[in-house]
Amino acid sequence: MAGKPAQPNDNGARKDFMEPEDYFMAAAVLSARRSRDPSTQVGACIVNQDKKVVAVGYNKMPNGCEDHMPWSRSKGEDAAAAVWANGGDLTVATAAKVAAAAAETKLDTKYIYVCHAVLNAIMDKNSADVKGCSIYVTLFPSNECAKLIIEAGMKEVVYLCDKYHGSLETQAAKRMFKQAKIPCREFLPKETEVVLKLKST
Ligand SMILES: Nc1nc(=O)n([C@H]2C[C@H](O)[C@@H](COP(=O)(O)O)O2)cc1CO
């Protein structure tokens, strides 16, 4: 029996192939999965003007430091976890407060050591430079990432999530992007299912 009549220009190709933009953001989402950060995993994918991927990256500790730097968000969390692990009779909440009050150093948090996803992607690029490239990021770039993106001559930022939009770092990043005339747009998947599925797993 004859099937559906072929449409003009129907060469029999698969119709549900992945659109390039979805692929680039999915690559960023997949890269984020390599992160060891227990709370926030960030991925980045840099694409050149020929639509070729030239780099991917994720938030990580510097090479050689992976097993030695803390992943905690606050000194208190570390100390509380240690008390808890040693069978201490303080609750985690109490221990956290005691430790946080006793030591206010940031040296025991991840923030001072971690390489953001954008930095890692730029350092790991497989091209001479990333001038004129677009960057797909799972989280809006920080002020430090914005400086790198601008100085590297990238032309566009596409982001999936902006959960720290109220932070000083994000506000500073937006101010620099505006001044440097680098457009930032929220990612709108063409084929939502694939990217969101990756994001949520
Ligand atoms: N743009 C960014 N790129 C990143 O790679 N990061 C990293 C740094 C930390 O490892 C993690 C944020 O941890 P937390 O504060 O949500 O527990 O994400 C953070 C930002 C935020 O501006």
Interval 139-169: pLDDT, tens = 999 999 999 999 999 999 999 999 999 999 9
Residue 1 has pLDDT above 50, yes or no: no
Question: Using CA atoms, how far apart are residues 98 and 110, in angstroms rounded to an integer?
Answer: 20
Among protein residues, the one with the nearest Cα to ligand 1's atom 20 is 142
- The answer to pTM > 0.80 is yes
Q: What is the pLDDT averaged over residues 39-66?
A: 98
31-35, 70-74, 82-86, 161-165: least confident range: 82-86
Q: Ligand 1 centre and the CA of 120: distance in Å?
A: 12
Ligand 1 pocket list (CB less than 6 A): 37, 39-40, 42, 59, 73, 110, 114, 116-117, 139, 141-142, 145, 164, 169
Q: Ligand 1 centre and the CA of 37: distance in Å?
A: 9
Instruction: For ligand 1, pick from 34, 35, 40 the residue to mutate: most ligand atoms within 8 Å of CB.
Output: 40
Q: Ligand 1 centre and the CA of 13: distance in Å?
A: 41
Place of tokens 């946080």: 100
Q: What is the pLDDT averaged over residues 31-50?
A: 98
| Between 99 and 146, the higher pLDDT residue | 146
Residue 92 has pLDDT above 60, yes or no: yes
8-17, 18-27, 70-79, 131-140: least confident range: 70-79
Binding-site sequence positions for Zn(2+): 116, 145
Q: Which amino acid is at 133?
A: C
Q: What is the pLDDT averaged over residues 30-54?
A: 98
Among protein residues, the one with the nearest Cα to ligand 1's atom 21 is 142
Per-residue model confidence (pLDDT) at position 177: 98
Q: How does 189-200 read in b/e, with b if 16+ C-beta sit within 10 Å? A: beeeebbeebbe
Per-residue model confidence (pLDDT) at position 181: 98
Assess: ipTM above 0.85.
yes
Per-residue model confidence (pLDDT) at position 4: 58
Distances (CA, A) of 199 to 21, 183, 189: 15, 24, 12
Q: Ligand 1 centre and the CA of 96: distance in Å?
A: 22
